[in-house]
Amino acid sequence: MSAQQDASTREEQLYGALETEKVNAATAEIDRMSPLEIVQAINAEDARVAQAVEQVLPHVARAIEAIAVHLRHGGRLIYFGAGTSGRLGALDAAECPPTFNIPLEMVIGRIAGGHFALWQAVEDLEDSAEAGNSDAAQLAIVEQDVVVGITASGRTPYVLGAISYAREKGALCIGLACNRDTALEKVVEIMIAPVVGPEVINGSTRLKAGTAQKMVLNMLSTGTMILLGKTYGNLMVDVQPTNRKLHQRAVGIVQQASGLAPGAAEALLQEAGGEVKTAILVGRTGIAPEEAREQLAAHDQFLRKALDALDAKK
């Protein structure tokens, strides 16, 4: 056997040993099942996902705390992934600005193959570490940034290439995979590895692995934004009322937080220039919008801290 053949055999053995690539005995005859039995089988496997994520919550919490520190100091949260993993990262990044009123460049998603790969598979590029390295270089990653590599297998070359570049620049590197003891785990500071086991359809990691990654990404971005003062209780008080639905939501948040009637809440939101936090502070304390903005600025845009400080003065 040649050295090249020997390396290829070792690669196949390593890949076959991954939990996400094993054959699921519970769905081995899924093609014989009725539609109801199919969805019952999928649902039963999905029930395992939350349990797997629960096992890694301390790692997720550590990542959230670290990300918040970096973002407070001007850093960015940057996701790199290929295929489903890349699409999930891009989705999470896209939803942060309207939800939490952050700059577009604060949370960024990059996928192997670029924007085209968001709706059509470009699977060959996930095998290119050079492409990952190049995409990372184009973002001019610096020490203040946090880079999250997302790959179900934990060994996708594109992701490893991006992480390699980020490490060279001193950025905090976090890994998200659905296997343990992976190549990714060896090169990141924080590893999050919910092991969901074999997929319903062998190797189709858009299923349980994708669901686990989505759950963790929800926690990473939402938890970070909570630590940055983007919520008051469980109200998203930094929401941007950029369309009718979001305007109605913003009015509802002002109403709920201030106790005002819908009409009064809408008038107050308009007076505050569409700024939900400002409107709530005005409604709760009676101060002018400009003073409300000053109070929020003095308390790092944390609405609760501003309210507590004003209550303490009474």
Is 41 part of a structural domain of the chain? no
Query: Are residue 140 and residue 67 in the same domain, yes or no?
Result: yes
Out of 227, 259, 289, a domain closes at 227
Asked if 223 and 64 touch (Cβ cutoff 8 Å), the reply is yes
Is 42 part of a structural domain of the chain? no
Is 44 part of a structural domain of the chain? no
Residue 287: CB atoms within 10 Å: 16
CA distance 232 to 281: 11
Is 301 part of a structural domain of the chain? yes
Domain harbouring 177, CATH code: 3.40.50.10490
Query: Are residue 76 and residue 210 in the same domain, yes or no?
Result: yes
Dump pLDDT digits (tens) for 269-305: 999 999 999 999 999 999 999 999 999 999 999 999 9
Backbone phi, psi, residue 28, to 5°: -60, -25
CA distance 106 to 97: 8
Query: Are residue 153 and residue 298 in the same domain, yes or no?
Result: no
Strand partners, 175: 149, 191
Dump pLDDT digits (tens) for 15-63: 668 988 899 999 999 999 999 999 999 999 999 999 999 999 999 999 9
Residue 224 one-letter amino acid: T
Q: For 170-209, b where at least 16 C-beta lie within 10 A, e where not — what string?
A: ebbbbbbbbbeebbbbebbebbbbbbbbbbbeebebbbbb
Q: Which of 75, 229, 212, 66 is nearest to 151 (CA)?
A: 212
Is 58 part of a structural domain of the chain? yes
Query: Are residue 157 and residue 285 in the same domain, yes or no?
Result: no
Which residue of the set 19, 126, 199, 266 is catalytic? 126
- pLDDT (0 to 100) of residue 98: 87
Query: Are residue 251 and residue 209 in the same domain, yes or no?
Result: no
Query: Are residue 59 and residue 208 in the same domain, yes or no?
Result: yes
Residue 59: CB atoms within 10 Å: 18
Is 151 part of a structural domain of the chain? yes
Q: Is 271 a catalytic residue?
A: no
Which residue of the set 11, 37, 45, 95 is catalytic? 95
Return per-residue pLDDT of the chain as tens, 314 residues: 554 444 444 555 566 689 888 999 999 999 999 999 999 999 999 999 999 999 999 999 999 999 999 999 999 999 999 999 999 999 999 999 988 999 999 999 999 988 887 877 766 677 899 999 999 999 999 999 999 999 999 999 999 999 999 999 999 999 999 999 999 999 999 999 999 999 999 989 999 999 999 999 999 999 999 999 999 999 999 988 888 998 999 999 999 999 999 999 999 999 999 999 999 999 999 999 999 999 999 999 999 999 999 888 76
- pLDDT (0 to 100) of residue 127: 83
Number of structural domains in the chain: 2
Is 233 part of a structural domain of the chain? no
Asked if 147 and 174 touch (Cβ cutoff 8 Å), the reply is yes
CA distance 311 to 314: 5
CA distance 76 to 94: 14
Is 255 part of a structural domain of the chain? yes
- C-alpha dihedral over 156, 159, 162, 166, to 10 degrees? -110
> Which residue range forms the structural domain that includes residue 217?
49-227
- pLDDT (0 to 100) of residue 111: 95
Q: Is 275 a catalytic residue?
A: no
Query: Are residue 91 and residue 215 in the same domain, yes or no?
Result: yes
Cβ neighbourhood burial of 84 (10 Å; 0-12, 13-18, 19+): buried
- pLDDT (0 to 100) of residue 6: 47
